[in-house]
Structure 1
Amino acid sequence: MRGLSLLGLLVLACVFLFGCGGGGEGGARAELGRPAYPRGVVFEPSSGLAQIPGDERDVKLLDWMIDPARWRPDECTVTASELKAPVGKAIHMSIPVDHHGGEEKYPIGWPRMYHNQKPDDVDFSEYDYFEFDLLVTMSRPKPPASVISVVLHGVDKSRSYVQVTGEPLKLGQWMTYSKPISELDCQQIAMFGINISEVNYEHRDQLEFHFGGFRLVRSSHCRVMKMTADPAIVYSDRGVIRAEILVEGKVTGIRIGVPFLLSRGDEKLRFETLPVKRGKQTIDFDVSELRLAAGEYELTCYPDDPALRVSVPIRVVSSPWEVSK
């Protein structure tokens, strides 16, 4: 056999798998994009969806969540708030921290309240973000690192834990919090739970939480919020470039077309419109007819729309199997 020996092939394969792409964990994955909100398990204040020209926020108010009668409090009280939230009405969760009056086995406990979703309330999977407004006052001058927790219980019994933290919370001011629906363990929500852990507070602290404006939000435009080439380094004889994407916006049920372009510098190599749906998914971009040479490429969605454009770099390397032929 001409070209590389078997040993040479193995060495090249190992270099490709472990040594390319800048080194370090995940070195073979390039990730670019414009996230609307910070990722992670922590609720962080946000000013809302990233705006694009002509875009409008499609908002679904969850009015039933500000009905005190639908919440089940334990070691706290819940009433209609006398305050007006930035969006709609509010409920008031009041907690007198008591390190001696909780359950017998756990005197320093978890004052909490639960809210059951009805089957016909709303389908969370049709939206991109769950948002609410929160105003906090307390008898202590500074909030602890962990202020209050929110648990979203899925219909499949899974739980997504999120947390409101002491930074950047500002006492006495309305703050808007947002959580991407795509980050929930289950997008079909059966119940909400809100609780504190009394270990984070001093005995006899008085805590007042005003929640309002519970809502689901999505963009009026279909857009790719995140795109990841997987892998970002491919052999020249591979016929497909694969990417993981996160699609948001008003996409319900049916798939719609999103334009993709593969380019090398100023040279446009292939343009194709691919069907997508809401949420996380994988797309395969066919390059079998291009016979790509080794070099640097770029995969771009919405290439002709600066407001929607998202790109990721692709590196093509010579295939050891082609060299050995």
Structure 2
Amino acid sequence: MALNEELAAREELLAKAAMHQAFRSELEAANDEWQAALDDCSQAGNAAACYQKRLTQRIAILVLLNRLFAGPHLPGDAVKACTARGQAFGSCYDNLFAAADTVYAITARAFETSLAAVNIQTPTAPDGGGQASTAEDTFRAWRTAECTALNQSPMVDKAGGVIACQIELTWRELTTLAALLGRKPHWSERVMDYAPAFRACLDKGREEDVDLRIIDVFPDGGGEIIRLMGSRGRYDCAAVAATVSSFTPTAGRIPRPGEAEAIFVPVQGQRRPEIVLASPGGKPADCYETQAIIAAEARLSGWIAVSLCD
């Protein structure tokens, strides 16, 4: 029941994401195949284990899809991602690769369909994919050849080996295709646009709490809500430019799917962002990669921290 609820929440979030209709059609077809595989579990010798495994796999795919189309940018380093998650490296790499390759298959088919709709020829196959019959096979053949060659080079860091390299190349390819299939920039990629509202909400929130950081921005009633977290709890702020119209404690304790996948941590004296990220209610600081941000016109400076963990 818990896995089904998490799956439904991820599906609801993905339904709101911006993407090409060709992708939605491919995703619906994949969902039908997945549902048939899940129904087969009723005949399995250990039905509960079968359901758990297949639901968990599907959630991993939806987590990646949500990150790709409705979340912050994907991490660039599979080794750092698996280190942050604290999992056994072999298992972590296998899980990341399985989800990435499945999502790639759906995305590549959608991209081919969208190209066919406007009668554009598929680009020339990369080296290593000349004998492939589809974009999927072409990319996979090139990915294997490229990572095998890189792994043999004395000039390349071999941490994670061939499989980590393949994950990273797949993430990179997915990011490119998602942009062509309708992905809109996540709020964490638009801090400059949000800077006046962020500054106003942070100033207002300091009357209520300390260690404030912004953990989400989402649509609500025709406007947008900026969600913050502090040492005492979570807060919802509605602001237009530098004017705050409301600032209230968040109703309910359950986070939105995708909440805190990216966090804006404002500069607070001499404190590094890792100290604020590790405050009560947050993930371990190692779960994030950070990038400094300065929006001088709004008097806003700090870091965007993007999650490497689930």
TM-score (norm 2): 0.22
Q: Which has the larger radius of gyration?
A: 1
Name whichever structure is richer in strand by fraction: 1
Name whichever structure is richer in helix by fraction: 2
TM-score (norm 1): 0.22
